[in-house]
Structure 1
Amino acid sequence: MERYDLLYRLYEEFDTGTLRAYQEFVDLFPPVDSRVALDQWQRARDELDERKEEIRDAFPHLGGTYADLAALATREQAFAALDLYTKHDRGINVLVLDVDETLRSAGNTDNEIPRETLHLLTRFHEADVPIVICTGQTLENVKGFLIQGLGSKMVHSGDVSIVYEAGTGVFTPGHGADTKQLLYETLDKDVQAIFGQVRSRVLSEAPEDIRRGCHLQGNEFNVTLKPNFETGSDDAHDVVDDALVYLLDLLGDAVADVVGADVDAAALARAYYADQDPEIRDVLAATGAQPAVDAADVPDAVATVFERIDVAYYEADAAEIGSLELNKVVGVQSALEVLGIDDPFALVMGDSKSDLRVMQWAADTDAGIAAAPTHASRDVLDHVAATDELLFDRGDAAEMLRTAYAMRLLAGLD
């Protein structure tokens, strides 16, 4: 109970709200060329140092940590961090972070990672905590906004890794021959041939409404159709639904061609994946594209290949074909190996089914804790509710990062 008593005393005896306000002002003060503004920043910095010194004096031997904790975390975040540390007896030693609708949100952050969040990532980096960005986006897109937000020096420091295209590749600058790992090259030739065939046909043979309403994301391996309309809009919803049905048909044809099966491949693909995913089943019903066959009618040779290929549906956002052998878990494990993290305890943050796999892996192997925004998919929310209940508002990833950093500070007291 001593740790709880000290934390209670910290937040009762000191004006931690004002302390955090000074810390935030000092941390997020924009670069300006103004003597008046710089003087204001210096006064805030001096006041911050004085207030933190009072806490250091009040907590002998541990004051520096408690001062940093009070300047960073609210009372609720600090006690949540202590509860997590008490439960898991470990501090966070790596971040595993999804981007879209996690670090940033189309609805709340204008699809930009907020400055507060970027600063907290920098704080973790300075504390020697590696960062794994884990996303379905292309490598070039992710590199671009990370360098813009965090700076080239940090991104190329050797402690930042990018798992891109939901695990088909891993990019960890500063690691020589291991810097870029093309995990999709480990798949057998038949699977690679199927993806190559789908990609070569996906736009050239698309119906006009899909060809005009979608674009092919510039992936190295996965085949992803994205809407040419605002994500979440009615137009995006309609064209993504149509694109999903179209991708299922293309996939069925490609699989039948590779395995040499003389079957109604499109109907079999629709039946198989509708049986696997209720969201896909609902889309087929809504678009009048239900197959006239059942999943049980899929020949073994075709089903064996389907079992290796993932069809993902993101409502009003994307329809995608990927490899079930290459998912975010495989990518994260590869990234951790390159980063030299043998015993990870990660903060895993995400919102979708692909992120859920990483969360489940972390829970099953005691390799971390999971956090999600309140608008995440139902399965993700159910998992988070059943574990540590770490939910945050849309666009407010900083709340969880502060809690995780506080957890790390508390772990350092032992």
Structure 2
Amino acid sequence: MGKKSMALTGALLTAAMLTVAGCGGGGGADGETAASPADPNEVSGRIKVLTQRTDLVQKGVMAKYAAEFNKVYPKVKVSFDGITDYEGEVKIRMNAKSYGDVLFIPGAVAKNDYPKFFAPLGTTAELSSKYRFSDKTEVDGKVYGVAQFGTANGFVYNKALWRKAGITAWPKTPQEFLAGLKAIKEKTSATPYYTNFKDGWPLVQWTANNGSVGCDAQAGNALAGPVSPWKAGGELHTVDSLLHDIVKQGLSEKDPTTTNWETSKALLAEGRIATMMLGSWSITQMQGAAKEAGVSPDDIGFMPFPVQKDGKFCAAVVSDYQQAVSAYSENKAAARAWIDWFTEKSGYSATEGVVSAVKAAPMPATLKDFVDNDVTFFDRSEAKTAAVNDIDDAAEIGLNKPDYRQKLIDTARGAEKGSLDDFFAGLNKRWDEAAKTAGS
């Protein structure tokens, strides 16, 4: 799976809470809390940690983390199971009790079913005082997961290309952004924007901008009803209109059906494509591609969505996969010890250039441009995620799937019939009709 695995997390998957078919778990969980252990020397046992980061397992990186963990918890034996098709495989495993001790909560598990499969980690009051995103896994006052990390959203871009086109300041409006892409097309030989249409999952990154347009932490919760999310002036209308216009105006690759994610990293680093919409997790990967290509990693930039609120850019920070303890783990204290240590002490977030789940931690170096330019960060609330996902599933739209944006792109390039207004009207109708029945 390689480094793409990081991109398949969080905003893309944990928000897509479908019901695991036939997941009985082999009997009810006892509801025992996996509490943080007070004395490391009192914690022992073997734990298995499931992860989608197969690359880090294969390269021995996770084993090095375990070795550091053992300096604090010498009596705990940690093993890792790197899973390429994490969502598909873990969903199957969860039909029985043997799905590891520590795992990322699959998107296939409905939020209200968390108590069936995961041990509570503590109360909302306890967890929310220390960690970001605790409302994402809160059920009836208890929290069932701690985010592996958070990610801000924006456009990763080649600074040298944008400068070559004469643009040195971040665009403040969608129109300025489009004008910038046009200048890149006219003054360079690079592709201004790359959709990653074929791999699909990068298109879901556009959803993570919901909230950034209006600097609204409640933007996600606001979708929980017959609210016509793609109405004029709405956040998703603004977000998806920009993607449509990029393609409509010929500012993306000529044939989106031939894109390739792994190749795109090198293309951006080498200056053959200028811009991609991705989470801030991607910055270190692009910098790595630049080093491999023999070009300066300093040419990799990250810009916010081109809309300002009260003269400032805003960036929603959203949760990645949530780390949880299996309700059937026989070593819950050891499993919780791993989650606490990995989140707070491992240095993983800083190494990967992502936002720590620990509220007191500083923003990563990868977001220095955002910090220096006073971009407003906010954690997008997930309090009504379950209700929003119920509507989304019933409407068969897929905010966290690539399909509807692939159709949007096909409409923009003339491969599908219809106008943008008709496309949005259809989405609104399906959403509002589903909202009247979903969850009832």
Greater Rg over alpha carbons, structure: 1
TM-score, structure 2 as length reference: 0.23
Q: Which has the higher contact order (CA 8 A, sep 6+)?
A: 2
TM-score, structure 1 as length reference: 0.24
Judging by fraction of residues, say which structure has more helix.
Answer: 1
